[in-house]
A = this chain, B = another copy of it.
Amino acid sequence: MNFPSKLIEDAVNEFSKLPGIGKKTALRLVLHLLKQPKERSVQLGEAVMRMRDEIRFCRECHNVSDSDICNICANPRRDRSLICVVESLRDVMAVENTNHFNGVYHVLGGIISPMDGIGPDDLNIESLIARLQKNQVREIVMALSPTMEGDTTIFYLTRKITPLNIRVTAISRGISVGGELEYTDEITLARALVNRIPYESFLVKG
């Protein structure tokens, strides 16, 4: 692509480094910003730089935070004896949005994935064990993706946690609410059959 302006070329190049944004989309974004009042671009630019510059990670759970301790860990009404282990911030937000979890979190910062060269030492696992040894924790809920990597991570963590005599659970796997049985893959359906639940606890109280 030939750009009439070096400034535009630079902005397009920076945008197109973002995931899912190619050169054409980047150009569309840049031309949109050019049509908007100048403040829009300043706000976007500053928000991005400030975010990256001032962001901190919670000392307790490694969730992103504006301060030393995140809002969830600092909330006295949260059950600190129930810890949900997740991969990333996005998963914290997903669980939070259900409004069905009142415990605290532990963000691993990834999952064990030998293919990508990510081992247990690259994750926030030691701090999790330290937390469990220091605090009174009754249950750990593993909320990791139902993939080979997620299962490997759960297996590794469970082996580490078992000596501490803490209950380990994992979010259930089964067919999606609203999903159609005939389109469900056989592995999911098999697990949904094996892990069937009594009718009384069947309905989600939303």
Contact = CB atoms under 8 A, between A and B. Distances in A.
A64 B4 CA distance: 7
A47 B2 contact: no
Interface residues of A, number: 58
A89 B20 CA distance: 23
Q: How many copies does the complex hold?
A: 2
Interface centre among A14, A31, A33, A51, by most chain B C-beta atoms within 10 angstroms, is A51
Interface string A30-44: 111110001011111
Q: Which 6 A-B pairs have the closest CB atoms?
A: A41-B52, A45-B49, A45-B45, A11-B51, A14-B44, A45-B48
Interface of A: 1-8, 10-11, 13-15, 17-21, 25, 27-34, 38, 40-55, 63-66, 70-72, 88-90, 92-93, 96-97
